[in-house]
Amino acid sequence: MSNLRLGVMGGTFDPIHFGHLIAAEAVAKSYELDSVIFVPTGNSWQKNSLASAQHRLAMTQLAISYFPDFQVSSVDVERTGDTYTVDTLRDLKGQYPTAQFFFITGADSLAGIGTWKDSEELWNLAHFVGVTRPGHKLEVPKSPAGAVTLLEIPALAISSSEIRAKVVSGESLEGLVPIKVLEYMDKHNLYRGNND
């Protein structure tokens, strides 16, 4: 298939939540994407995940089962070494040589993009879409003209860090993560301090 328009949403997804899903959905609609590929990190160079890559991959799969146009890729989980977006995009381009990629980032991640590995090459691999995230200013980072566009989306003040903290304190996660993800977290005792 040629001319596929594919969104890419990279993240630790520790765990995945409605903030990620709504952001992807808003960009998919606005940019007329055929699909959005969620790519959980393997080892992050920026932070350590609490849940294992396999758990984060499984939760991402469960979360996107509600969205027929979303899919999950394990390219970052399978690659050894730290995860860098430039490698994610190179791998996906290998799988979909003629597709146009739209890399989706929240305002917080977008601000740091200049520090990412091979940032100059990133602009050739995908168009970057920055979306609103409560508590962060949404602005175009230093980048070639037209490489980044911004999209205002319904603001969801949800973060994985907040969710992990709520598990520890026993607070309700209603409205923060899809029910299947909640059931998976319960079943595997995730974020209660005994993760594998």
Question: Which CB, 3 or 115, lies closer to ligand ATP?
Answer: 115
CB of 97 to ligand ATP, least distance (A): 25
Which residue number places its CB atom closest to ligand ATP? 106
Question: Which CB, 11 or 42, lies closer to ligand ATP?
Answer: 11
Question: Which CB, 97 or 103, lies closer to ligand ATP?
Answer: 103
CB of 48 to ligand ATP, least distance (A): 10
CB of 18 to ligand ATP, least distance (A): 8
Task: Name the residues that contact ligand ATP, by CB under 6 A.
Answer: 11-14, 19-20, 23, 105-106, 108-109, 131, 133, 156, 158-161
Question: Which CB, 161 or 189, lies closer to ligand ATP?
Answer: 161
Question: Which CB, 97 or 148, lies closer to ligand ATP?
Answer: 148
Q: What is the greatest pairwise CA distance in the chain?
A: 49
CB of 160 to ligand ATP, least distance (A): 3
d(CA 40, CA 43): 10
CB of 131 to ligand ATP, least distance (A): 5
